[in-house]
């Protein structure tokens, strides 16, 4: 009985030791959608990785699907004869106010036309953005959707690593 306990204790000890060896340094850029009063340097996370890893991810993205599960804000939903024109109007209204920074997409899911905006990784980011546009689009709501990868300049990432 004590021999089994000794073996079990050693197994636990080695498992805990191997868990401590698996650490990474992470860095995330600000998505541009942060609550008011939060400084630019608050909550900064650093990711250190080889530039070749970014090239591999870009290659994978180019060869495969260019989307991943995320969140968008739906600003229009309708059907009928005028739904297509109304969806274009909602998209143009959004682009006039917010530009093309967030992206806006018309989705046709028969018989409905939907206008969805943003490419948010988290629901919290989408909910914050929804609050910002709620006065202009009062019937907007957050929906799960496949979103596009953010554009990344690999050469700029390399310069950032060298500069810091």
Cα–Cα dist 104/118, whole Å: 6
Handedness of CA 32, 48, 43, 61 (dihedral sign): positive
Q: What is the DSSP string of 90-118?
A: HHHHHHHHHTTSS-EEEEEETTEEEEEEE
Residues of the chain with CATH 3.30.70.1070: 69-148
Q: How many CB atoms lie within 10 A of CB 103?
A: 15
Superfamily (CATH) of domain 69-148: Sporulation related repeat (3.30.70.1070)
Q: How many CB atoms lie within 10 A of CB 126?
A: 25
Q: Which residue has the higher pLDDT, 124 or 34?
A: 124
Handedness of CA 28, 30, 35, 37 (dihedral sign): positive
pLDDT over threshold 90, residue 140 = yes
pTM above 0.85, yes or no: no
For residue 81, name the pLDDT band (cuts at 50, 70, 90): very high
Q: Which residue has the higher pLDDT, 1 or 74?
A: 74
Cα–Cα–Cα angle for 76, 81, 143, rounded to 5 degrees: 20
- Pick from 12-21, 36-45, 69-78 the range whose average pLDDT is largest: 69-78
Average pLDDT score over residue span 81-100: 93
For residue 164, name the pLDDT band (cuts at 50, 70, 90): very low
At 10-29, the pLDDT tens digits run 777 766 655 554 444 555 55
Q: Which residues neighbour 50 within 8 Å (Cβ) at sequence distance 6 or greater?
A: none
Average pLDDT score over residue span 119-142: 94
At 97-129, the pLDDT tens digits run 998 888 899 999 999 999 999 999 999 999 999
Cα–Cα dist 49/158, whole Å: 10
pLDDT of residue 30: 55
For 144-159, b/e burial (b = at least 16 CB within 10 A) is ebebeeeeeeeeebee
pLDDT over threshold 70, residue 159 = no
pLDDT over threshold 60, residue 77 = yes
Q: What percent of the chain has pLDDT over 90?
A: 43
pLDDT of residue 161: 45
């Amino acid at each position: 009985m004590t021999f089994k306990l000794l073996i079990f204790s050693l197994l636990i000890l080695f498992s805990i030791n191997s868990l401590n060896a698996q650490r990474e340094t992470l860095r995330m850029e600000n998505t541009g959608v942060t609550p008011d009063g939060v400084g630019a340097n608050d909550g900064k996370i650093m990711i250190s990785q080889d530039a070749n890893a970014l090239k591999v991810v870009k290659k994978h993205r180019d060869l495969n699907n260019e989307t991943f599960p995320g969140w968008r804000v739906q600003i229009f939903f309708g059907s009928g004869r005028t739904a297509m024109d109304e969806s274009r109007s909602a998209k143009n209204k959004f682009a006039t106010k917010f530009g093309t920074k967030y992206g806006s997409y018309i989705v046709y899911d028969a018989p409905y036309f939907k206008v969805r905006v943003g490419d948010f990784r988290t629901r919290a980011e989408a909910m914050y953005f929804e609050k910002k546009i709620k006065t202009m689009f009062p019937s907007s709501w957050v929906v799960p959707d496949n979103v596009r990868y953010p554009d990344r300049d690999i050469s700029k990432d390399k310069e950032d690593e060298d500069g810091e």
